[in-house]
Amino acid sequence: MNRWVLVGGGLLLQFSIGAVYAWSVFAKAYQEAEPWELTKVQASLPFTVTIAMIFIGSYIGGRVQDRRGPRVVALTGGIIYAIGIVIASFTRGADDLWLLILGYGVISGFGLGVAYIVPIAMLQKWFPDKKGLITGLAVGGFGFGAVLTSPIAAWLIGQDEDQPSKAFLWLGLAYLVMSLAGASVFRNPPEGYVVPGYEAASVGGAGHTMKEYTEKEALRTPQWYLLTAILTLNVTAGIALISQAAGSAEGIAGYSTAAAATVVGVLAIFNGGGRIVWAAASDRIGRMPAFAAMLALQGVCLILLPHASGQVFWFALAAIVYLCYGGGFGTMPATAGDYFGVTYAGAIYGLMLIGWSLGGVIGPIVISALLGDSGEPNYTLGYTTIGIIALAAVALTLITRVPRARKAEPVDQRAA
């Protein structure tokens, strides 16, 4: 089949599960709706649990996909994700917060993780000649999911502002249709599949071989831990700003509340676009140079951010941070494929997504503590600290090297 059909299916699936990043629309509604009136911490719990569950789902989904194939795993993940969203639609007040966390957080988060890893691992096998670009497209769909969902969710919530959960019923059904339609075309390439003109480059020519690492073998290499640390720190830096973007836009650059909300929505486009731009760039400049640039740019922009009183300057700095945050997700799957091969990419990269969960928790907690809970937020202390962490992380990219068994040179088969 035409391999680009699989890209379209992957994008459709990722659009549906990427809607999770539209949670801020619901968080605001749950704080204002009379039957709910949740605190900020309470309103953040369903999303926090979702991000934590992604790692569990992606690890299990990745392992099963490597053995059973991509279609059944993606269909299962999409169904579980939609069921969790629909369960959340039956909540009606603060007493149902536990059910909201169970449905939106635990169940849909697990299904999201199961489905998320599938197109990333599958498409690398179909596009060995464009691994960076193609994985960037796959996760770019996830980044753009919130851009598409946010205005629809806001409109649905507006139909009954006292019961924002009702919007989940229609969204859950839409997610189900989209994910099933996308996953229905998934399949691994046939045995012996090659891209014309690429086979020699991928294996280093006659007499050369590159090892395909299993999950356990990858975990015994220092490279797996270095790559996971790079992903964790890239997420930590970017999500520190994302978690405080609206308040920072108002407090630093003087945006109005309404304008800050609009700006945050526009910045989500850079999150999605960065996944494609940086992934494609990494095909040309190399994976580690790309990560070094992403971390360095985030570090510099975060250090400058507290001093960007001009709205245009603040937006430009924030947009670069969002680009680099998304770029990490776009580039790391191809990097893992380069370092460990694509045969067991589902399980190996699924495990690496613990960096997403760790960074997604560490970043918001650290920046919140540094900004302070009372008085004027200390933006200089907060963003300067996170920026320095990002700059220090560049050192990891300088010591991370492709395992010898993955280089295009003769390898002793017994040792491999």
Q: What is the pLDDT of residue 408?
A: 57
Residue 338 lies in a domain: yes
Same domain, 229 and 339: yes
Q: What is the pLDDT of residue 231?
A: 96
Residue 202 lies in a domain: no
Sole residue written with tokens 């964790």: 232
Same domain, 182 and 222: no
* The pTM of the whole model exceeds 0.85: no
Same domain, 259 and 159: no
CATH of the domain at 359: 1.20.1250.20
The length of the chain in residues reads 416
166-195, pLDDT tens digit by residue? 999 999 999 999 999 999 999 988 887 777
Which residues in the chain land under pLDDT 70? Answer: 1, 197-209, 373-374, 408-416
Residue 11 lies in a domain: yes
Long-range CB pairs of 169-173 (<8 Å, 24+ gap) are 169/86, 169/89, 171/19, 171/85, 172/82, 172/83, 172/84, 172/85, 172/86, 172/88, 172/89, 173/82, 173/86
Residue 343 lies in a domain: yes
Same domain, 135 and 170: yes
Same domain, 241 and 160: no
What would the DSSP string read from start to end of 24-36?
Answer: HHHHHHHHHSTTT
Q: What is the pLDDT of residue 199?
A: 57
Give the whole-angstrom CA distance, residue 107 versus residue 354.
Answer: 18
Domain tally for the chain? 2
Tokens for 307, please give them. Answer: 């001093």
84-107, pLDDT tens digit by residue? 999 999 999 999 999 999 999 999
Q: What is the pLDDT of residue 112?
A: 93
Give the whole-angstrom CA distance, residue 158 versus residue 153.
Answer: 8
Sign of the alpha-carbon dihedral angle for 277, 278, 281, 282: negative
Residue 201 lies in a domain: no
Structural domain range at position 123: 1-187
Same domain, 167 and 244: no
Q: Name 293's Cβ contacts closer than 8 Å, sequence gap at least 6.
A: 285, 324
Give the whole-angstrom CA distance, residue 162 versus residue 32.
Answer: 8
